[in-house]
A and B are shown apart, each in its own frame.
Chain A
Amino acid sequence: MPELRRDPVLGYWTIISTERSRRPMEFKPRRLDTDAPECPFCEGHERQTPGEVYALRPDGSAPDGPGWRTRVFLSKVPILPVGEHVQRYGQGLYDVMEGAGRHEIIVECPDHKSGLDSLETPQIESVIRSWAARINAFEKDPLFTFAFLFANHGLIFGSPSDVVRHSRSQMVAMPITPKRVKEELLAAKIYFERRDRCVFCDIVRQESADKSRMVAENDSFLAFCPFASRSPFEIWVMPRRHSPDFGSIDEKEAPAFAAILKDCLGRLRTLLDDPSYNSILHTAPYRHKKRETHWKTIEEDYHWYFQISPRLTQSAGFEWGTGIHINPTPPEDAALLLREVKRG
């Protein structure tokens, strides 16, 4: 029986389509990336990338040479180019803005590996610390209001250099808070106004009690398939401790986050034969004093989390026209299959 399910935060509807129900083996992985003969992201090839802006070098080795655990540089094909200031103007009915962003590539390991789960847990922890460091680096910069962190695993995007199969993530610091992020912030605020509780804390409580959508959990995090999952096998990893900012991740949480990410991504890889996926960090915008656009309750009403969306179905006209996704795998079934995966 098909169902329409509503996401409690954003209010989007998803059709859980049992008529079209599909098992993991029915999804054909669409891998588009290849192994390049000469990977610019590998240790020893530092000259092939722009100069590093950050690196974890535990032995204090010199920049732009070997000896790093993670390495960060500006994208050669930035989504938003680096600029000094933002220009805003109107063009008749339309609004235009030019300028300022910062697009960084975070290489997640020195050796040629693909996917966070193929790294050892301490190395994933280094990646997490690098993410936090890069986001926190622009917290005081008046140019930026938001930093978006994401990764595309196994997808073609933009330039040919993007198809190289070497684990990395990307951060884009930007002068505006994007619409989708604003919608989520606003929805969380409205929920808080009504109930004096954080909607994500409520989700954590309900998923912890219900367990039918749970994929994995530890002391600090739970990983579950969200109730209104838009894509089959979508997973949200949510911290139990309420905090709006990923950048506030603490000494206890970082290893726990590394462990649960490795576990979840490993389960996806085994069950779905190394699928393409997008991962997205949901975290609060910067709250410096540039403009008073932030509300007083954001500390209490927003809660960071990490979304993993496998790319198993093709968005089609219906999704584009309505924003409603048709998901052929109920999240309860997806979670059960993911829990049952035998880990090697």
Chain B
Amino acid sequence: MAQLRKDPVTDRWVIVNVDAPRRADTFHHEPHVKSSKTCPFCPGNESMTPPEIAAYGRRAGSKSGSDWQVRVIPNKFPALRIEETTEKQAIGIYDKIHGFGAHEVIIDSPDHDKELADLPAEHVELVLRAYRDRCLDLKKDPRFKYILIFKNYGASAGASLEHPHSQLIGLPVVPSRVAGEVKGALRHYGYSDRCIYCDMLAQEAGERKLTVLDEWGFAAMTPFASRFPFETWILPKNHAASFESMQDDDLRRLAATLKGTLKRLKTALKDPALNFMIHTMPMHGKEEDTYHWHIEIIPQLMQVAGFELGTGFYVNPTPPEIAAETLRGATG
């Protein structure tokens, strides 16, 4: 029997194949292609990028622009532009807003060939610090309603450059998917007076079927209604609504969990293309008690097709219990 599982936050059903689960070694993906072009993100090529917004790890008084560890720059081909206004306009029944927003690139490391999974935890911590600091800086501008930090790794995850990097997009609207999640969490709080993500963590603490990694105050788990094979979430075990509220010490522990999780995915699935997204409370939100920030990691192992596009109803061939077991057993 196919089992249908409902995501308790968004009410989205997922079809999970519990009878004939697909194992890690049955997924095949396109190999990562190495480009021979000059990489604008490598040290020494700083002049090829727009002017730097921030850099981490550069020695004090350094004369060279190239001795950074993490570097933040504006996206050269921004989806949205900070110079735009937020002017709103109606065209008959349609609405539009000028494309105001921020689109930044976080170059994860000077090393062209090392992804977060391969870098030392201390370096991953520096990357997380760049994420947080950029959020805190942009938060000062009240026009931003939401800031999304995400990573596309590999061509089939939508990455156009291979040098390890992450991206930030600041938006003048709260996206519908985020709004749906926030609303779902609020509804649960409304009748239980508890955070639904805290409830998920509590249930998992008793069952231990979905856990990938649970150390250092953060839990990595495959969600009960995983949409994708080997989808993995990382949640702070202590309730916190926004990512940017994390202190340096939290980021150090998060870095160890993120690196460990990415490494396990890399080993178990032979270096898959993947996306991760930080889900956080909208800027200046009031959902401090009801929402719980987290990272969603989605390995790109399958094509989403017409069925998923039309129904929002995902078909997942690998039950999350099996994915978690595989990842627990993988080298971290």
Chain A residues proximal to chain B, CB less than 8 Å = 1-6, 8, 10-13, 15-20, 32, 78-81, 83, 91-99, 101, 148, 150-152, 155-158, 170, 172, 176, 178-181, 183, 199, 202-203, 206, 210, 227-228, 278-282, 307, 309, 313-318, 320-324, 326
Nearest-neighbour CB distance to chain A for B205, whole angstroms, equals: 11
A316 touches B305 (CB 8 A): no
B84 touches A13 (CB 8 A): no
Residues of A within 8 A of B80 (CB): 2, 4, 15, 17
Total contacts A-B at CB 8 Å: 222
A309 touches B98 (CB 8 A): no
B97 touches A95 (CB 8 A): no
B6-14, B111-119, B135-143 - interface stretch: B6-14
A2 touches B4 (CB 8 A): no
A206 touches B169 (CB 8 A): no
14 pairs from A and B in contact (CB 8 Å cutoff): A4-B97, A12-B176, A98-B1, A150-B309, A180-B311, A199-B93, A227-B91, A280-B306, A309-B309, A316-B158, A317-B148, A317-B275, A321-B177, A322-B169
CB-CB nearest in chain B for A12:
B176
Q: Which of A11, A92, A150, A324 contacts B203 (CB 8 A)?
A: A92
Nearest-neighbour CB distance to chain B for A199, whole angstroms, equals: 7
Residues of A within 8 A of B196 (CB): 93
CB-CB nearest in chain B for A6:
B95
Interface residues of B in 64-90 (CB under 8 A from A): 77-81, 84
Nearest-neighbour CB distance to chain B for A266, whole angstroms, equals: 20
Known: A178-B13, A322-B146. A206 touches B6 (CB 8 A): no
Chain B: residues with Cβ within 8 Å of the partner, total of 74
Q: Which of B11, B95, B303 contacts A179 (CB 8 A)?
A: B11
B176 touches A11 (CB 8 A): yes
B4 touches A97 (CB 8 A): yes
B171 touches A322 (CB 8 A): yes
Give A128 to B84 CA distance when docked, in angstroms.
46
Residues of B within 8 A of A181 (CB): 310-312
Give A17 to B2 CA distance when docked, in angstroms.
40
B48 within 8 A of A: no
B242 within 8 A of A: no
Residues of A within 8 A of B200 (CB): 93
A81 touches B95 (CB 8 A): no
CB-CB nearest in chain A for B95:
A6
B178 within 8 A of A: yes
Residues of A within 8 A of B191 (CB): none
Q: Which of B5, B78, B172, B312 contacts A94 (CB 8 A)?
A: B5
Nearest-neighbour CB distance to chain B for A147, whole angstroms, equals: 11
What's the dominant secondary structure at chain B's contact region?
Answer: mixed
B96 touches A314 (CB 8 A): no
B79 touches A326 (CB 8 A): yes
Give A297 to B62 CA distance when docked, in angstroms.
70
B173 touches A278 (CB 8 A): no
B252 within 8 A of A: no
Residues of B within 8 A of A6 (CB): 94-96
B298 touches A320 (CB 8 A): yes
B293 within 8 A of A: no
B151 within 8 A of A: yes
B93 touches A321 (CB 8 A): no
B313 touches A180 (CB 8 A): yes
B310 touches A314 (CB 8 A): no
B256 within 8 A of A: no
Residues of B within 8 A of A155 (CB): 303, 305
A2 touches B79 (CB 8 A): yes
Residues of B within 8 A of A203 (CB): 93
Interface residues of B in 122-158 (CB under 8 A from A): 146, 148, 150-152, 155-158
Nearest-neighbour CB distance to chain A for B319, whole angstroms, equals: 12
B24 within 8 A of A: no
The 9 closest A-B pairs by CB, nearest first: A316-B158, A2-B99, A317-B150, A323-B177, A180-B312, A321-B277, A322-B175, A150-B306, A178-B311
B157 touches A98 (CB 8 A): no
CB-CB nearest in chain B for A156:
B303
Nearest-neighbour CB distance to chain B for A75, whole angstroms, equals: 11
Give A105 to B298 CA distance when docked, in angstroms.
29
A320 touches B93 (CB 8 A): no
B49 within 8 A of A: no
CB-CB nearest in chain A for B89:
A3
Nearest-neighbour CB distance to chain B for A88, whole angstroms, equals: 9
Give A179 to B225 CA distance when docked, in angstroms.
14
Residues of B within 8 A of A313 (CB): 158
Residues of B within 8 A of A19 (CB): 77-79, 81
Residues of B within 8 A of A152 (CB): 305-306
B222 within 8 A of A: no
Residues of A within 8 A of B309 (CB): 150, 278, 280, 309
Residues of A within 8 A of B304 (CB): 315
A2 touches B311 (CB 8 A): no
Residues of B within 8 A of A278 (CB): 305-306, 309-310
Known: A2-B84, A316-B159. A13 touches B175 (CB 8 A): yes
B310 touches A96 (CB 8 A): no
CB-CB nearest in chain A for B5:
A96
Give A158 to B305 CA distance when docked, in angstroms.
9
Residues of A within 8 A of B4 (CB): 96-98, 176
Residues of A within 8 A of B81 (CB): 1-2, 19
Residues of A within 8 A of B79 (CB): 2, 15, 17, 19-20, 318, 326
